Structure formats: C-alpha cells, structure tokens
Amino acid sequence: MKYSRILGTGSHLPARVMTNADLEAIVDTTSAWIRERTGIEKRHLVSEGETCCDLAEVAARRALDAAGVQASELDLILIATTTPDRFFPSTACLLQQRLGVRGCPAFDLQAVCAGFVYAMDVADRFIRTGAAQRALVVGSETISRILDWTDRTTCVLFGDGAGAVVLGSADEPGIVSSHLHADGAYKDLLQVPGGIGNGRPEAAFIEMKGNEVFRVAVTTLGRIVDETLQANGLSRSDVDWLIPHQANIRIIQATARKLDLPMERVVVTVDAHGNTSSASIPLAFDQAVRDGRIRRGEMLLMEAFGGGFTWGSVLIRY
Ligand code: ACO
C-alpha cells in the first residue's frame, strides 16, 4: 500500500502591500470595520505584469528546494487556481515550461477557495494508485484582478499569493484521508458571473452575499471536522494543528471552537494576507513549517470552503 507524504513546502507573496488604511482612500470603509468583521489588517497584491504563474513559480521552486527534489523528478504538476493567466494553456502547463519539465501530466483545478484541498485529494489519488511518485501541488491566485475596486463589500477581503507542496510516495501516511463536497445550488451566493457562457468574455468581478455565505460556511466547516474525525476514529484532541482556509477570523475561530483547539494551535495568516483563495492554506502551512511551529509527526487538519459552494478537508500526519 502506497501513501503520499509531504516532502517540502514553499510560498510566495507579491511585494506590493495594501493596508486597511490604504483602502480607506479608495472605498467608503474604515480600518476598524475591516479588522473587527474579518481580522484582516493588510494584503499583498500583484503589480502590473505580475502573473499567477510568476507567483506559482517562486512558491514551487521553494517547495522543490525544501523537498530536495529536482523539477525533472516530478511526474505530476497540479495548480489550484481561480485566476489562471489564460483560458488555455493551463497555468500548470505554463509552470511546467518555466520549470523546464516535459512530458508529465499538468493541469489546473478550479474549486475556488477549496481548490488546494481538492488538488491535494487528486494528487494523493495519483500517488496511491502508483500513477505518480512525486507531485507538485500549488495554490496560486491573482484574485485582485477579479475584484470590483468600487465594491467595499468584497474588495477589502482578498489578496494575492501562492503556496506549494511537493508530495512523494511513501509506505506510511502522510495524507491520512481527504473529504470533498460541493453543492451547486448555492451558485449565486458567491460568483464571478462573467464568462464565455454569456457570449464573448467580458470583465467580471466577484459578487458575494457575504452574511449568507458566512452562515453556511460556519455550519459546513463544523460538519467537515466531524466527518473527518469520525472517518478515522479520532477525537478532537488528536489534532495538533488546524490549518484553515483564511477567509475571516470569525469563521476560523468558530471551527477552532468546534475542535476545542486553542487559537495557539491554529495557523492564522488572514490578518497579513487577507483571503488568497486557493493559495491561503499552502501559504499558511509553509509559514508555520518554516517558523518551526509545525513539526514532523504532528497531526494537521486542513479545511476550506469556497464558491460553488465547494468544501473539503485533508488530514495529514506530517
Ligand atoms: N466597510 C464598512 N462597512 C461595510 C463594508 C466595508 N468594507 N462592507 C459592508 N459594510 C456594511 C454593509 O453595507 C452593512 O451595512 P448596513 O447594515 O447599513 O446594511 C454592514 O456593513 C454589515 O454588513 P454584513 O454583510 O452583514 O457584514 P458581516 O458581518 O456579515 O461581514 C463579511 C461581511 C466580512 C463579508 C462576512 O459576511 C464574511 O466573511 N462572509 C464570508 C466570506 C467567505 O467565507 N467567503 C467564502 C470564501 S471566498 C471564495 O470562495 C472566493
């Protein structure tokens, strides 16, 4: 029996920083409102000409270095993104070319903020079946490009960035289990309505019924925690670290309470990064690995909720 194990992590944030105070000059908001309702203090944004693939490449190279794996050893490249550079080729193919790799499968996966959790599940299945030995899984986003910068209800929430992990085949987990769900009945609560289904592509931006999304997110993430623990016969005290999707500190606190975990055991980056969609979990993960908080052998629970709605979890023995 084969399992996948995390060999290395990496991440990258664009240099440009926008604080809450900077946003006060753009839309009718206050630093205090943003901080109190979301926990966000600042976010990083791409500059003109900086792309999703640029962010992904830096994060990927850092993860490869940390893993001690050459790009030529990869046999799967997977990018979770909602903001690909082109309709096609996929950003994963663009990244493959940048890394100088040829031949291995490379594709994008779109599950909005749950994208990284979805991509980990898919990569894990490649490795478990023997179809891949070494997989690069990236979450990379330039969400700032699909924001309406005149809409204070959305533009204050998001940021750009990328995170990556290299997975390798191992005899023991590794990824213990993953649990994915979606419910398209909620398609209109959180969406970018533009696209080729409406004719020729036009500019389109995130629209969200924030407080309805909030309510569903809190209950759904509570359920996914129970589902993950029950599937493995574990209790809440078996989880050492919660690495949640970083949308809102209040949603994160609610999930931590559900797990009975003190906030010191929750990796929080929403204050400094905002919501970076599919990049938020690998960004947070890499930060906590590099600063020494997360150690080998510990049990990690990743969970995410996003547009679709999509949601899921990954339980990892790191
Ligand atoms: N500054 C000041 N006031 C604001 C702002 C702002 N930036 N935005 C909204 N307000 C106002 C509203 O207009 C409203 O005013 P009113 O009472 O006069 O009508 C008031 O603040 C309260 O608005 P709510 O939307 O009820 O505020 P809420 O406490 O729900 O917070 C938020 C809004 C932060 C968006 C929250 O609902 C949330 O986090 N939702 C979930 C987001 C999420 O998890 N998304 C999923 C992942 S994202 C993805 O998949 C792409």
Q: Residue 86's domain is classified under what CATH number?
A: 3.40.47.10
Q: Are residues 163 and 180 in the same domain?
A: no
CB of 306 closer than 6 angstroms to any ligand 1 atom: yes
Q: Please tell me the predicted confidence (pLDDT) of residue 196.
A: 87
Query: Which residue range forms the structural domain that includes residue 221?
Result: 176-317
Instruction: Identify which of 200, 229, 223 has the alpha carbon closest to the alpha carbon of residue 315.
Output: 229
The model carries a pTM of: 0.97
| CB under 8 A, 24+ apart: contacts of 197-206 | 201/87, 204/146, 205/146, 205/147, 205/148, 205/151, 205/154, 206/143, 206/146, 206/147, 206/148, 206/154, 206/158
The DSSP secondary-structure symbol of 114 reads G
**Could you give the CA distance from residue 211 to residue 208 in angstroms, rounded to a whole number?**
9
Q: Which residues contact 88 (CB under 8 A, 6 or more apart)?
A: none
**Residue that finishes a domain, picked among 171, 198, 225:** 171
Q: Which residues contact 33 (CB under 8 A, 6 or more apart)?
A: none
List the residue whose alpha carbon is closest to atom 48 of ligand 1: 306
Beta-strand pair 299-306/241-244:
parallel
Q: Please tell me the predicted confidence (pLDDT) of residue 78.
A: 98
Q: Are residues 239 and 184 in the same domain?
A: yes
CB of 112 closer than 6 angstroms to any ligand 1 atom: yes
Q: Report, as ranges of residue numbers, the positions in the chain whose pLDDT lies below 70.
A: none
Annotated catalytic residues are 113, 245, 275
Q: Quick count: other Cβ atoms within 10 Å of Cβ 122?
A: 18
CB of 80 closer than 6 angstroms to any ligand 1 atom: no
Q: Are residues 184 and 313 in the same domain?
A: yes
Q: Please tell me the predicted confidence (pLDDT) of residue 303.
A: 98
Q: Please tell me the predicted confidence (pLDDT) of residue 197.
A: 86
Report the nearest atom of ligand 1 relative to the CA of 306. 50
CA angle 134, 140, 144 (to 5 degrees): 180
